[in-house]
Every structure is written in structure tokens, then in C-alpha cells.
Chain A
């Protein structure tokens, strides 16, 4: 089954404790992206990756890091989480062609993060 998986699905942590949210897709997609979703602010892109070893900042990258060492995986790293990073996080992937309906983004199930 074609899918994007994320782990963990729920996480409660404390300020300053490094954490990693994993994301994996099995569709051989080139383009992967991390979003956070907050009430009243919608989906905001954190980082994206056009392909292996190619990553770039989105609209709200501060406090986050990513890596893309393999095509299927795109982990999100919070080196020193703070309460303002409490949010619902989504990983998404797409073919990466940049055209057509086939380049729609497929989303993982989400990770609800609470930073105390």
C-alpha cells in the first residue's frame, strides 16, 4: 500500500530535550516536505527536499533541522524544543514533477507534539 508513515504519532516532551520525528514514504517520491498546522494559521511549510541531499528552508524553519540521506526518509529534528513548537506536524511527499494532478502531495498521519 502506497503511504507516508510518521513516528511517533503523539509525543509529550520537555523544553530542551532533543527529539526526532521520522517520516518515510514507499512511493519513490522525489519531493518531501514538513508542515506544522496550528489553529488560525493553517499549514505552514517548515522544510522541504527536492531529492536526496537537497534540502531547503520553507516558511518557518527556525528551531528545526532536516536531513535527506535516503530517498524514502526525511526526518525532522528539534535540537532544543520550546513550547512554541507545540503543534500538529505533517510530513508529505509527491512525485516532484511540479506539474499536473499526479504531483499531488500525500500526507502522513500526523504527529501531535506537546512541549512543556
Chain B
């Protein structure tokens, strides 16, 4: 079946580095997305991986291992505004909708001063 797991909550300190893990099971993997969602707001796109390896975008990096069904989002130099929920989503081309995203429940990150 299709499944995505990520930790429910994490806490980190301002200025530190935090890694948010995501493991997935899907039969038609076609890319993995990370989104950021502040409370009560819309998810916004952070990063995309489809090949194994690390993608870096400023303070944010995302890693993918397709053989392990594993990804992580790395946030460096944490700021208070990074307190949000981080959603892992896998695009799955099996089934009738090859644009469909399978969503994790999100990891709520609290950044403390």
C-alpha cells in the first residue's frame, strides 16, 4: 500500500540545525516534495527530489534515497519564523491519477530562542 511516515513533533533551538525524516512506501514513485505550512495557512513548496542525493536551496536542503524509501529535510541556521509544520509528499504514478500526491501528516517544528 501507500504510506508516508514522519515524526509528529520536533523541537530545536534558534541558530541550530534540524533534520526532519520521512519514510515512504509507494508502488509508483515519481518524485518527493517538501512543503512548509504555518498554522492556519496554506502549504508552500520548499523542495523537490526525484533522483538520489542532496538538493540544496539556501538554508534548506533535502535528501532522497529511493532504494531505502527515505528522505530528509535539513534546516540550517534556524530562525523563529521556521516554526511551522513540514509536510512530506510523494507523487505516485500508479493508479488512475499520476499527478496524485500522497501526503504525510506533517512534522510540527517548534524553534525556541
Q: Which residues of B contact A103 (CB under 8 A)?
A: 91, 99
A109 interface hit (Cβ, 8 Å):
yes
Closest A residue, CB atoms, query B42: A107
Q: Which residues of A contact B97 (CB under 8 A)?
A: 48, 50, 56
- Interface positions of B from 92 to 107, Cβ below 8 Å from A: 93, 96-101, 103-106
Q: Contact: B103 with A48, CB < 8 Å?
A: no
B29 interface hit (Cβ, 8 Å):
no
Given the interface pairs A42-B104, A104-B33, A104-B48, the reply to whether A96 lies near B99 with Cβ below 8 Å is yes
Chain B, interface size category, equals 20 to 34
Chain A, interface size category, equals 20 to 34
Q: Contact: B103 with A110, CB < 8 Å?
A: no
- CB-defined interface of A79-116 with B at 8 Å, one 1/0 digit per residue? 00000000010100010101111011111111010000
A22 interface hit (Cβ, 8 Å):
no
A45 interface hit (Cβ, 8 Å):
yes
Kindly provide the distance from the CB of A109 to the nearest chain B CB, expressed in whole angstroms. 5
Q: Contact: A42 with B103, CB < 8 Å?
A: yes
Binding site for A on B (CB under 8 A): 30-31, 33, 40-45, 48, 50, 87, 91, 93, 96-101, 103-106
